[in-house]
Chains A and B, each alone.
Chain A
Amino acid sequence: MTSNHEDTNDILQEVFAKAYRALKRFQGKSAFYTWIYAIAVNMSLNFLKKRGRRRKLSLDDVDKGIENDKDFIEATSKSDPVREATINELQERLNSAMMELSEDHRAVVTMFDIQGMPHAEISEILGVSEGTVRSRLFYAHRQLQTYLGDFVK
């Protein structure tokens, strides 16, 4: 979401501190995971809105397991640009494309595509309808398709 180590670390500290303070108010109406994830997403979105466009990308390490991933193997075997790019270049490209999305669109892509959450859970976390989640996903994918067009030809 932030594409920056320090920012992510600061937000995560704040999220846990807030969750720790509010733990007594957790009534078990939703799963604990959903509850704490909602705090994290809301705080991240607030932070990103305050930060605006000012950003400095910092890349995470990539687990070696990516080389055995069937999607990665498929992508590198089919597409020349992906095959020619190193893993770090690919990662940089993906992060840049993600940062082109609005905060709300980035949030749904992160939760749906990267974290693998179902639409219903995303809608509960964000407090919007499932239709809105699907619509945001649709537009986000369209935008990503534009930014990563040469990678998926």
Chain B
Amino acid sequence: MSDSTSDSNLSEVQKLIRLKRYEQPPRGYDAYCEDFLFEFQQRQRVEMLRRSSFSLWLEKVASWFWGFGTSKWVWGGAAAYASMMMFAYLNQDSGSDIAEEPVGPKPTTLAPSVPPGESQQDSGKGGKDGLQPVSAPRFKEL
């Protein structure tokens, strides 16, 4: 018995709450909608003027990107990969520039031309200082 009373009360509550459908803006819907639209356009204009051109460009890029649908992730991944590769390539180039040897005459050093196999004592046969020109012909005595 109490359950049925409670259920009936619940349905009465629902009916009362449904009466809120009759609520409307103070000056009626038409006037409200006109005011609302005017205010909306004003706010949009102000917002557009306030934003930087970079953020507008970014938004355009984002909406263009979203237009790709599900394939956007593939394109996004490819773009990320390409930019990483580009970065790595540029980095590599600039790295080799730094490591490159300076341009200019190389310092020359004179070194005794001692062919392998000849001992230190043979070197005394050469010139005064023991140096021999590299291009000098060498004959073997038989």
Q: A and B: real partners?
A: yes
Interface positions of A (Cβ within 8 A of B): 5, 9, 12-13, 16-17, 20-21, 24-25, 27, 59-63, 65-66, 69, 71-72, 74-75, 79, 82, 90-91, 94-95, 98, 109, 113-114, 141-142, 144-145, 148-149, 151-153
Number of A-B contacts (CB under 8 A): 95
B36 within 8 A of A: yes
CB pair B13 A141 closer than 8 Å: yes
Overall SS of chain A's interface: helix
Q: Which of B1-28 contact A (CB under 8 A)?
A: 6, 9-10, 12-26, 28
Q: Name 27 A/B residue pairs within 8 A (Cβ), A-sorted.
A: A13-B36, A13-B43, A17-B44, A24-B63, A59-B23, A60-B24, A61-B26, A62-B23, A63-B23, A65-B22, A66-B19, A69-B19, A69-B22, A71-B16, A75-B12, A75-B15, A91-B20, A94-B17, A98-B20, A109-B17, A113-B18, A114-B18, A141-B10, A144-B17, A148-B13, A151-B12, A151-B16
* Least CB distance, A21 to chain B, in whole angstroms: 8
Find the A residue at minimum CB distance from B32: A9
CB pair B22 A63 closer than 8 Å: yes
Give Cα distance in the complex from A134 to B130, angstroms.
Answer: 108
Q: How large is the interface on B (under 10, 10 to 19, 20 to 34, 35 or more residues)?
A: 20 to 34
CB pair A152 B12 closer than 8 Å: yes
Contacts of A9 in B (CB 8 A): 36, 39
Give Cα distance in the complex from A113 to B15, angstroms.
Answer: 8
Contacts of B59 in A (CB 8 A): 21
* Least CB distance, B30 to chain A, in whole angstroms: 13
Contacts of B44 in A (CB 8 A): 17, 20
Contacts of B24 in A (CB 8 A): 60-63
Interface positions of B (Cβ within 8 A of A): 6, 9-10, 12-26, 28, 36, 39-40, 43-44, 47, 59, 63, 66-67, 69
Among B12, B19, B39, point to the contact of A94 (Cβ < 8 A). Answer: B19
CB pair A145 B23 closer than 8 Å: no
